[in-house]
Amino acid sequence: MRRIVTLMLAGGILTLAQAYTKEDRIKDMQILAKAMEEIQTGFFYNNKDLVNEGALKLSDTINRIQPPLSEAEEKDPMARYMNNKIKVSNKIKKKIDQKARNIIERFRDNDPTQAAQSYTDIVKKCMECHVQIRQW
Ligand code: HEC
């Protein structure tokens, strides 16, 4: 009996873990902001580890970002509009992921100028999504 209860609890937790909520997204956004800080500090202190760590965290987190399930399943007349936003945001996410990889490669290859360029490109992409999608 106890085992069944444990299994049911575990199942419940798994289901919960799959639903991406607005709170999750805000938390991930804060991780993104922190990762950007780390990359910038890494640039200024010429600390490759910090740059790598920040860029990896950025890639990892940006791939997790998605509209909360409730918004993705929106059925009202706004649905088409929402879906379009999701497509747009996927493009932006892909770009950020690419640029994060660029940062790691350029900094490793002693080309901090290009690494900084990729960093600036990412800031622009963050803002692009915020302008277009923040009102999700
Ligand atoms: C896919 C679209 C999208 C992208 C890309 C994006 N954001 Fe956001 N961001 C949002 C949305 C939407 C919110 C509003 C919070 C919410 O309702 O989930 C937000 C909110 C935030 C917040 C405020 C969180 C809080 O505590 O209220 C920060 C900080 C943030 N983003 C940082 C970033 C950074 C840094 C990047 C780029 C690396 C970025 N975001 C890229 C959509 C995006």
113 within some domain: yes
**Do residues 73 and 85 touch, judged by C-beta distance below 8 A?**
no
**Model confidence pLDDT, tens digit, residues 59-74:** 999 999 887 766 666 6
Q: What is the pLDDT of residues 80-134, one digit of tens each?
A: 566 667 777 888 999 999 999 999 999 999 999 999 999 999 999 999 888 876 5
Q: Is the CB of residue 122 below 6 angstroms from any atom belonging to ligand 1? A: yes
What's the domain range around 47? 20-133
* Residue 69 domain-assigned (yes or no): yes
pTM given for the model = 0.83
Going by CA atoms, what residue is nearest to atom 1 of ligand 1?
Answer: 89
Task: State residue 82's pLDDT score.
Answer: 61
Q: In angstroms, what is the span from residue 29 Cα to ligand 1's centroid? A: 5
Q: Is the CB of 118 under 6 A from ligand 1?
A: no
Contact 74, 82 (CB under 8 A): yes
Q: Are 134 and 82 in contact (CB under 8 A)?
A: no
CA distance 58 to 17: 21
* Ligand 1 contact, 27 CB (< 6 A): no
For the beta carbon of residue 72, count every other beta carbon within 10 angstroms: 13
Task: Give how many domains the chain has, as a whole number.
Answer: 1
Tell me, what CATH number does 112's domain have?
1.20.120.10
Q: Are 43 and 55 in contact (CB under 8 A)?
A: no
